[in-house]
Amino acid sequence: MSTTFTIDTATSRATPTPAPMKRLTVPAIQRRKVDGRTAEPLVMLTAYTARQAQLLDPHCDMLLVGDSLGQVIYGLPSTLPVTLDMMIAHGAAVVRGSYHSVVIVDMPFGSYEASPQQAFASASRILAETGAAGVKLEGGEAMADTITFLSQRGIPVMAHIGLTPQAVNALGGYGARGKSEAEHAKIVGDARAVASAGAFAMVVEGVMEELADIITDAVAVPVIGIGASARCDGQVLVAEDMLGMFERTPRFVKRYGAMAETISDAAARYAADVRSRAFPTADQVYRPKK
């Protein structure tokens, strides 16, 4: 799919304006899984900014404004300090920068766990203030009532089970889940619970491959894997991981770019040009017309 943005050159950054086009919908995403199978896997990437959304959107079915933005762009030690206002600001930017993908915004830690009513207040702000199509929240069986409450009130919910980063303190780290029989059974139970509660899809993160396969077969809604299995109904990665923005590549990431090297190299060449007065040249300065 090619990018169909037209460039508005009146603005200082020539911001592309999306060509009018019908956006994918949550029901359309759900319908991709037929009789327990998804013929064409769903493509999801995280996006946090309008420009990033413009570049990723034509290639994706869903863009996730993940609370991973806390670590990726704010340099926070975990996702726990991320606020609802941060998610709303970035969610609105990603909606403005996309025209095709379904945009899902993460509900940050502390904005939904207390009660279904608290979750509704936060989720309704997200949808109203960003224009996103749905929210994602972490947790399995314990979140089932909240998922039902939201879905019955017009808020599409993507669940997130397995390794749930907002529970890092309880889990003791970011290691893969589902290694013991008890944990395996608990995660399968979580998957069934969130699907029955009305989640339109679920992210399954950081679990044993076999467990991801069992979950994918066990539920009727699309299962989006990250560190899970190629047999999931779709895959998601943090875009910056996939683009090679970081030196460390976690096991579940495949690098499709080398952004860290590209940026460092460009900055080094710019710095050298400034220091040697090779930049700016006559091409980059204003002179009276002759």
Binding site, annotated residues: 67-68, 106, 136, 138
Examine residue 233 and tell whether it contacts ligand KIV (CB under 6 A).
Answer: no
Cβ closer to ligand KIV: 54 or 71? Answer: 71
Question: What distance in Å separates the CA atoms of residue 73 and residue 95, rounded to the nearest whole number?
Answer: 18
Minimum CB separation of residue 68 from ligand KIV in Å reads 3
Minimum CB separation of residue 94 from ligand KIV in Å reads 12
Minimum CB separation of residue 208 from ligand KIV in Å reads 17
**Which 22-51 residues touch ligand KIV, going by CB under 6 A?**
46
Among residues 113, 129, 141, 205, the one annotated as catalytic is 205
Phi, psi of 137 (to 5 degrees): -135, 150
Examine residue 55 and tell whether it contacts ligand KIV (CB under 6 A).
Answer: no
> Which positions make up the binding site for 3-methyl-2-oxobutanoate?
67-68, 106, 136
Q: Say if residues 104 and 63 touch (Cβ distance below 8 Å).
A: yes
**Binding range to ligand KIV, per CB under 6 A, among 64-72, 109-117, 171-179, 248-256:** 64-72
> Which positions make up the binding site for Mg(2+)?
67, 106, 138
Length of the chain: 290
Burial of 64 (0-12, 13-18, 19+ CB in 10 A): buried
How many residues of this chain bind ligand KIV (CB under 6 A)? 12
Q: Say if residues 89 and 108 touch (Cβ distance below 8 Å).
A: no
DSSP state of 207: B
**Binding range to ligand KIV, per CB under 6 A, among 21-29, 66-74, 190-198, 215-223:** 66-74
Q: Say if residues 195 and 152 touch (Cβ distance below 8 Å).
A: no
| 205 among known catalytic residues | yes
What sections of 104-180 are H helices per DSSP?
A: 116-130, 144-151, 168-171
Question: What distance in Å separates the CA atoms of residue 70 and residue 76, rounded to the nearest whole number?
Answer: 5
- Can you say how many angstroms the Cα of residue 215 is from the centroid of all Cα atoms in its chain? 21
- Choose which of 33, 38, 56, 67 interacts with ligand KIV (CB under 6 A): 67
Contacts of 253 (CB under 8 A, 6+ apart): 237, 238, 241, 242
Q: How far is CA 181 from CA 171, 184, 193, 206, in A?
A: 16, 5, 18, 16
**Which 100-159 residues touch ligand KIV, going by CB under 6 A?**
106
Minimum CB separation of residue 205 from ligand KIV in Å reads 6
Examine residue 234 and tell whether it contacts ligand KIV (CB under 6 A).
Answer: no
Examine residue 53 and tell whether it contacts ligand KIV (CB under 6 A).
Answer: no
**Which 237-256 residues touch ligand KIV, going by CB under 6 A?**
238
**Which 177-206 residues touch ligand KIV, going by CB under 6 A?**
203, 205
Binding site for ligand KIV (CB under 6 A): 46, 64, 66-68, 106, 160, 203, 205, 226, 236, 238
Kindly list the catalytic residues: 205
